A and B are shown apart, each in its own frame.
Chain A
Amino acid sequence: MAMLIPYGQRVTPDDPTVSSRGLMRPRPGGRTLRLTIAALLTVWFALPLVPLLLWFFADRWSAPAVLPTEWGFDGVTSALANGAVPAFGQSLALALVVAAIATPLGAMAARALTRGAVPFPRLVSGILLAPLALPAFVAVMGLTIVLLRARVPGVVGVVILLVAAALPYTVYTMRVAYAAHDLAYEDEARTLGASRWNVLWRVHLPLVAPGLARAAFLAFLVGWSDYVITVLVGGGTIVTLPLLVASFAAGVGNDAVVAVLSVSAIVPPLVLLLALGRFGRRYPTASYLHGPTASQSPKGSP
Chain B
Amino acid sequence: MSATLEIDALVKTFGAATALDGISFAVSAGECLAVLGPSGSGKSTVLRSIAGLDVPSSGRILVDGADVAGVAPERRGMAMVFQRPLLFPHLSVLDNVAFAATVSGQPKSEARADARQFLELVQLEGFGDRSITALSGGQEQRVALARALAARPRVLLLDEPFSALDPELRADMHSLLGQIRRQLNPTIVMVTHDRDEAAVVADRVALLSTGRLLQHDTVERLYTRPASIEVSRLMGGRIELAGEVRSGVHHSAIGAVLAPEGETWADGPGMLVVRHEAVHVSTLPVEVPPGMVGVEVVVADRRARGPRAEITLACGDGLLEAEVPASRPLAVGQSATAHIPRSACTVVPAP
Contact = CB atoms under 8 A, between A and B. Distances in A.
The answer to whether A and B assemble together is yes
B328 to A, nearest CB: 28
B260 interface: no
Contact of B80 (A7, A191, A202, A288): A191
B138 A192 contact: no
Nearest to A187: B53
Interface size for chain B: under 10, 10 to 19, 20 to 34, or 35 or more residues?
35 or more
A191 B103 contact: no
A291 B164 contact: yes
B89 A284 contact: yes
Interface of B: 36-39, 51-53, 72-80, 82-90, 99-100, 102-104, 123-124, 126, 131-140, 147-148, 151, 157, 160, 163-166, 168-169, 192-195, 198, 207, 234-236
B83 A294 contact: yes
22 contacts: A2-B166, A7-B124, A184-B82, A187-B73, A188-B80, A189-B99, A191-B51, A191-B80, A191-B148, A191-B151, A191-B157, A193-B103, A193-B151, A195-B72, A202-B88, A203-B88, A286-B89, A288-B84, A294-B84, A301-B193, A302-B36, A302-B234
Given A3-B138, A191-B51, A297-B160, A284 B38 contact: no
B207 A302 contact: yes
A11 interface: yes
A5 interface: yes
Interface size for chain A: under 10, 10 to 19, 20 to 34, or 35 or more residues?
35 or more
A195 B103 contact: yes
A202 B140 contact: no
A192 B151 CA distance: 6
A198 B103 contact: yes
A290 to B, nearest CB: 10
A14 to B, nearest CB: 14
B206 to A, nearest CB: 11
A185 interface: yes
Which of A10, A198, A287 has the most chain B CB atoms inside 10 A of its CB?
A287
Contacts of A203: 88
A194 B140 contact: no
Contacts of A189: 88, 99, 103
A199 B190 CA distance: 25
A187 B76 CA distance: 13
B98 to A, nearest CB: 10
B138 A184 contact: no
B169 A292 contact: no
A195 B73 CA distance: 9
B157 A297 contact: no
Contacts of A286: 85, 87, 89, 132-133, 135, 140
A190 interface: yes
A290 B52 CA distance: 29
Given A182-B86, A192-B103, A294-B84, A7 B73 contact: no
Given A182-B86, A193-B151, 9 more contacts: A2-B136, A2-B169, A3-B166, A187-B51, A191-B148, A287-B136, A288-B84, A297-B39, A302-B36
A192 B74 CA distance: 6
A207 interface: yes
A291 B139 CA distance: 14
A298 interface: yes
B47 to A, nearest CB: 10
Contact of A206 (B77, B90, B124): B90
A19 B83 CA distance: 35
A299 B39 contact: yes
B193 A7 contact: no
A10 B75 CA distance: 37
Interface in A174-211: 182, 184-185, 187-195, 198, 202-203, 206-207, 209
